[in-house]
Every structure is written in C-alpha cells, then in structure tokens.
Structure 1
Amino acid sequence: MMKQLARYWEKIRESGDPKVSPALDALNGVLYMGRQLRMHVLLVAQSATARALGNPEVREQFSTRILARYSVKA
C-alpha cells in the first residue's frame, strides 16, 4: 500500500508540492508520535515487511504483532 500511495503521489504531484506524499508523511508522524500521545495504530496487512511499509524504522514502530500462519521471516 505504501508503494501504491507513493506512486499515486508521483503521478498527481505538481511542481510546488512536497516530494513525499502527505499521506505517508502523516502516517509516519502518527506512528512516531503515537506512543507519546497514547495513540494506537491498528494495521492489518498480509505481508507487513519493512519494504512494504516504506522502511525498517516504520515497521519497528508497531510494538505488537499478531500473526497467523507466520513465517520465520516475519
């Protein structure tokens, strides 16, 4: 999903707009500040790899992972 949002932003972005999608920027902000503000983000994903979420730092912001039929790489 992150990759799709980034691609969509590249497609509609105009010259004065920021390089990073505001949606991705806001999600990263909520994830990084969420613990301090006692906010929780519930993400349902089939494959929440670091690459799928944008980078390893984003994935590490999720303190709890509930897995069904997990693989060793999860």
Structure 2
Amino acid sequence: MVVHLNAISPFAVVIICVVALLIFGPKKLPELGRAMGTTLREFKKGTSGLLDEEDEKKNVSVIEQKDSDKENK
C-alpha cells in the first residue's frame, strides 16, 4: 500500500504534532528533531555512497567490455 504525502491532511499533521508534544514534552522535541535530522543525513550519505559505488562498477565493466571488443577486432 502506497501512501502519498497528499493523503495526509493538515488536520492529521496537527494531531500528530500535538500527540508528539504530549508524549515527549517541549524540551525533548528539539533534541528528537536534531537526532532525526542527523540520522537522515547519515542515511543519505550512506545510500549515495552505495549508488556511487554501483555507478563506478557499471562504468568499469563498460570500459572493460569496450576494451575486450577492441582486442577481438
């Protein structure tokens, strides 16, 4: 099941924020936001590193294939 961001109404976002405020309190929310941002940033760095490695492997295999094609001719 795919949930689009448009499916969440502004009222639902307000309810979620109020519940989070009640559960964690006003002093903990900034700390949680910072921690979530740091985690997301590290995740993006990790996934971009994996994507860069995949692109590098594809480029190397294409170059090797071109070299082998030249040698066969």
Which interval holds the TM-score relative to the shorter structure? under 0.3
Which protein shows a greater Rg? Answer: 2
- Normalising by structure 1, report the TM-score: 0.23
